[in-house]
Amino acid sequence: NYSSKGYTSSQIFVPYSVFKGKAALSLSPRLPTFTKLASGAVVIDRRGTMMMTFVPALGERKYDWEKKQRFALSATEVGSLISMGSTGSCEFFHDPAMLSSNAGQVRKSLSIKPHADSSGYFMSLSVVNNILKTKEYLSVPVTTAEFAVMKTACSFALPHIMGWDRLTQDQSGGMHGQ
């Protein structure tokens, strides 16, 4: 399948990462995929997300990528993040096995809570897996400046995640000769 090979080979990795004492946190947009119908119209196939990756520290400036945990923010969850004021907080719950027979067995929750002195936020991911009987908790302190980068970058990425950037890619669209 040429299209999917083409997709794979054009993947670009440009995460925004913050490395802290106990864990690192990395944000990277995942673009939506599209299907071209026989009519020529293009419809969205799989929605884009903002992927958050938490990685526990192994030691000084070393991180254990084998133990990374992921949480994929939807467009609406990105909307929560970019509309947070300096004292706001938010929490999201995901069930990766939703609609399957394992529904309810794994519970992921992401929380963003401000520091008491407004100097930044704690971004924390908790993963409770009832099948493997495991419970992970990873938390990363994020400064106001780092959070501003995340908000600006997420605001930029949001229309791309939603596929709205496609609106202007066909440069001849809507042009009529006289």
Q: Which two tokens stand for residue 129?
A: 């897996």
Least separation in angstroms between CB 151 and its own copies: 8
End-to-end alpha carbon distance in the chain:
41
Contact range with its own copies by CB under 8 A, out of 94-102, 105-113, 116-124, 138-146 = 138-146
Strand partners of residue 54:
25, 69
Which of 79, 97, 113, 129 touches its own copies (CB under 8 A)? 79
Task: Lay out the sheet containing 134-143: strands in order across.
Answer: 90-94, 106-114, 120-129, 134-143
Instruction: Round to whole Å and give the CA distance between 48 and 16.
Output: 17
Q: Which stretch binds its own copies (CB under 8 A): 58-66, 102-110, 114-122, 155-163?
A: 155-163
Verify binding: residue 51, its own copies, rule CB under 8 A. no
Binder among 13, 60, 87, 133 for its own copies (CB under 8 A): 13
Exactly one of 21, 45, 65, 91 binds its own copies (CB under 8 A); that residue is 45
Going from the C-alpha of 76 to that of each of 25, 72, 79, 92, the distances in angstroms are 20, 11, 5, 11
Backbone dihedral angles phi then psi of residue 142, each to the nearest 5 degrees: -125, 130
Q: Shortest distance, CB of residue 44 to its own copies, whole angstroms?
A: 5
Q: Measure CA 65 to chain center.
A: 17
How many residues bind its own copies (CB under 8 A)? The answer is 70
Could you say which of 53, 83, 89, 119 contacts its own copies (CB under 8 A)?
83
Stretch that binds its own copies, among 2-10, 52-60, 64-72, 114-122 (CB under 8 A): 2-10
Q: In this chain, which of 57, 82, 97, 128 binds its own copies, going by CB under 8 A?
A: 82
Output the CA torsion sign for 138, 94, 97, 49. negative
Using CB under 8 A as the binding rule, whether residue 119 contacts its own copies is answered as no
Reference 129, options 105, 98, 100, 111; nearest CA is 105
Applying CB under 8 A, which residues contact its own copies? 3-4, 6-14, 16, 18, 29, 31-45, 75-80, 82-83, 90, 143-149, 152-153, 155-160, 162-178
